[in-house]
A = this chain, B = another copy of it.
Amino acid sequence: MLANMNDLDLWTELAAQLRVDSIRSSSAAGSGHPTSSMSAADLMAVLMTRHLRYDFDRPRDPNNDHLIFSKGHASPLLYAIFKAAGAISDEEMLTFREEGSRLEGHPTPLLPWVDVATGSLGQGLPIGVGVALAGRQLDRLPYHVWCLCGDSEMAEGSIWEAFEAASFHSLDNLTAIVDVNRLGQTGETMYGWNLDIYAARARAFGWHAIEVNGHDPLAIDAAYNEAMATRGRPTVILARTEKGHGVAAVANKNGFHGKPLADPEAAIAELGGVRHLTATVAKPDADAPPHQFPVTGHLTLPAYEVGSKEATRRAYGDALAALGNARGDVVALDGEVGNSTYSEVFAAAQPERFFQVYIAEQQLVAMAIGFQVRGWRPFAATFAAFLSRAYDFVRMAAVSRANIALAGSHAGVSIGEDGPSQMALEDIASLRAVFGSTVLYPCDANQAAALVALMPDLPGIVYLRTTREKTPVIYPAGESFPIGGSRVVRQTDADQVTLVGAGITLHEAMAAAEMLAGEGIAARVIDCYSIKPIDAATLHTAGRETGALISVEDHWPEGGLGDAVLEVFAADRLRPPIVKLAVRRMPGSATPAEQLSLAGIDAAAIAETARNLVRETRS
């Protein structure tokens, strides 16, 4: 369908307004990316007036389309769209980048019309894949996901993980719009305006690709129509544009990335002056509620017999399946290691809510972020070591105020023979250093199950570290393990030292305490299953009562359990000496028991450290 002349006038005027407003807001701020906004103004003018279905008064309407700026630095354009849609005032638009304004330098969900924070390139599209997949398989609603990408970010591998996942899942409810303005931050991109290269790649990855002049509204409109009519695969619209289009001083010129215009008034005049058009954005056609999966409504967690042995990773899978049976909002994803993480238990129980993401950990986490945009409670699992592949996505998920659960299995040297490439030894450090995160590390199967049951209702990034080896079940099923709590698993009135463990080291600490007891040394043992937040009160009490602490962790010395313990006592005037046992040499291959011994974190090493510490304390 061709647009009529009135549409063309509207689009031309609206695009000019979006450009002018991008210049105005960035000039008012004294920083920002007007030229990267101006290139995509025509693309967005046509989209918002003709193809986007969005009720700006009801951003939570489940039938709204989703518009994600993967090129988050084009925030001036996004905010100009919000103004044109009547969602924000011109006045608010001009608070861009001011302290206290919700119009931040890069978009965040502080704005109700923004799904996720962007600004780290290559993330919006993979997250958009998650939103679109939720639409297809979870919500089962006809909303469409539109992602505006930059050409520079096409170099990110995560973009190709997204291309792969989207075509694998036949997501024809996803359209990527690539603003090929040729110029990156420092110069021309690898391929400049060679749209054919991008199109060939997109097609090889199973997408429908359309090349278009990104400053021709009629051609753009036709491309969107073609995208909407394409069935069975996603569409990418590759738009040839000029960075800074419409203002001769900067149009298609290098050296103007991320800079306000030198002469904004002249530029605005060149664009025909300030306008205050309000564009009509169509509301969603549909009014259906999201799909709900039939569930039992009551949770029956797995129970493991005290004294038996089971791996916490197995308990993760069992408990997650139980959770999935009880509530319909829980979904699981795995990076093609579901028989190691035990996501496979959930997959067998709830195949419609399980997502195989293959060996693509960035897409794994991005898909989880996309699912939670739509209110689902995703659990994403892989080896803890390989979650490091998605660290930038986790960092940004916190900026997105996203609620996601991450489960990392095979943590630490205790995995044994596979060697250091498979051992997470930095996961506690990296995931503690995520804003608002929760870090959990169960030592037995019942505890793991209880913690899994808490995870979907916790805000932010919640990380569960699980162990490859089977560990003794020490807690009866059904006990409660609150976040921020701990368990004192061994205690007398005469304790001379406290051993602080978590996960696999808790068992080593218990064995050490037993050895020490035989020598007349009473050791308290604390299970810090909640590493962030940590149970400061119990640790303080132990410090006061026992006079010395030893923390033991299957992790590098930096940023892990030991540092969390030190933090508790940081500002104290009087406090016990704290000895941190951790992995201080690069492991190789060895049995799990040899690994713990070589790392100096097994029962013998703990007992020896305790003996010395008690001896010093007595002296």
Chain B residue with the shortest CB-CB distance to A152: B359
Q: Is the CB of B189 within 8 A of A358?
A: yes
| Chain B residues whose C-beta falls within 8 Å of the C-beta of A221 in the assembled complex | none
Q: Is the CB of B570 within 8 A of A105?
A: no
Whether A263 sits at the interface, judged by CB under 8 Å, is: no
Q: Is the CB of A185 within 8 A of B570?
A: no
Q: Is the CB of B559 within 8 A of A570?
A: no
Which residues of A from 67 to 104 have beta carbons under 8 Å from B? 72, 96-104
Which residues of A from 560 to 577 have beta carbons under 8 Å from B? 560, 562-564, 566-567, 570-573, 575, 577
| Chain B residues whose C-beta falls within 8 Å of the C-beta of A218 in the assembled complex | none
Chain B residue with the shortest CB-CB distance to A616: B573
**A608: shortest Cβ distance to chain B, in Å?**
15
Please judge, given known A-B contacts A359-B122, A419-B108, A421-B120, whether A558 and B155 are in contact too, CB under 8 Å. Answer: no
**A147: shortest Cβ distance to chain B, in Å?**
16
Q: Which of A416, A425, A426 has the most CB of B within 10 A?
A: A426
Chain B residue with the shortest CB-CB distance to A437: B558
Q: Which of A120, A433, A560 has the most CB of B within 10 A?
A: A433
| Chain B residues whose C-beta falls within 8 Å of the C-beta of A32 in the assembled complex | 417
Chain B residue with the shortest CB-CB distance to A343: B186
Whether A392 sits at the interface, judged by CB under 8 Å, is: yes
Which residues of A from 526 to 578 have beta carbons under 8 Å from B? 532, 556-560, 562-564, 566-567, 570-573, 575, 577-578
Whether A338 sits at the interface, judged by CB under 8 Å, is: yes
Whether A190 sits at the interface, judged by CB under 8 Å, is: yes
Please judge, given known A-B contacts A359-B122, A570-B578, A588-B99, whether A422 and B106 are in contact too, CB under 8 Å. Answer: yes
Chain B residue with the shortest CB-CB distance to A153: B359
Q: How many copies does the complex hold?
A: 2
Q: Which of B153, B157, B419 contacts A106 (CB 8 A)?
A: B419
Alpha-carbon separation in the docked complex, A493 to B399 (Å):
45
Q: Which of B98, B203, B339, B363 contacts A186 (CB 8 A)?
A: B339
Whether A29 sits at the interface, judged by CB under 8 Å, is: yes
Which residues of A from 282 to 317 have beta carbons under 8 Å from B? none
Q: Is the CB of B567 within 8 A of A580?
A: yes
Please judge, given known A-B contacts A110-B588, A586-B435, whether A190 and B358 are in contact too, CB under 8 Å. Answer: yes
Alpha-carbon separation in the docked complex, A104 to B578 (Å):
34
Please judge, given known A-B contacts A98-B590, A185-B337, A591-B99, whether A425 and B435 are in contact too, CB under 8 Å. Answer: yes
Whether A444 sits at the interface, judged by CB under 8 Å, is: no
Pick from A130-138, A159-167, A237-245, A479-487 the stretch touching chain B. A159-167
Q: Is the CB of B362 within 8 A of A157?
A: yes
Q: Which of B164, B420, B430 contacts A190 (CB 8 A)?
A: B164
Whether A579 sits at the interface, judged by CB under 8 Å, is: yes
Whether A31 sits at the interface, judged by CB under 8 Å, is: yes
Q: Which of B122, B336, B361 contacts A184 (CB 8 A)?
A: B336
Whether A178 sits at the interface, judged by CB under 8 Å, is: no
- For A, the interface residue count at a CB cutoff of 8 angstroms equals 112
Q: Which of A72, A119, A184, A588 has the most CB of B within 10 A?
A: A588
Whether A603 sits at the interface, judged by CB under 8 Å, is: no
Pick from A34-42, A367-375, A381-389 the stretch touching chain B. A381-389
Q: Which of B96, B385, B391, B566 contacts A563 (CB 8 A)?
A: B566
Alpha-carbon separation in the docked complex, A422 to B105 (Å):
9
Q: Is the CB of B433 within 8 A of A556?
A: yes
Chain B residue with the shortest CB-CB distance to A98: B589
Q: Which of A155, A336, A432, A579 has the most CB of B within 10 A?
A: A155
| Chain B residues whose C-beta falls within 8 Å of the C-beta of A598 in the assembled complex | 99
Q: Please, could you name 13 A-B residue pairs with CB atoms under 8 Å apart, sorted by A?
A: A31-B416, A120-B389, A121-B359, A152-B358, A156-B359, A186-B337, A388-B395, A429-B559, A433-B556, A557-B567, A558-B563, A559-B563, A571-B578
Which residues of A come within 8 Å of B, CB atoms?
29-32, 72, 96-106, 108, 110, 117-122, 152-153, 155-161, 164, 168, 184-186, 189-190, 197, 200-201, 203-205, 336-340, 344, 356, 358-363, 385-386, 388-389, 391-392, 395-396, 398-399, 416-422, 425-426, 429-430, 432-436, 532, 556-560, 562-564, 566-567, 570-573, 575, 577-580, 586, 588-591, 594, 598
A-B pairs with lowest CB-CB distance, top 10: A157-B157, A119-B421, A559-B559, A99-B590, A429-B433, A426-B433, A105-B419, A204-B204, A160-B160, A391-B391
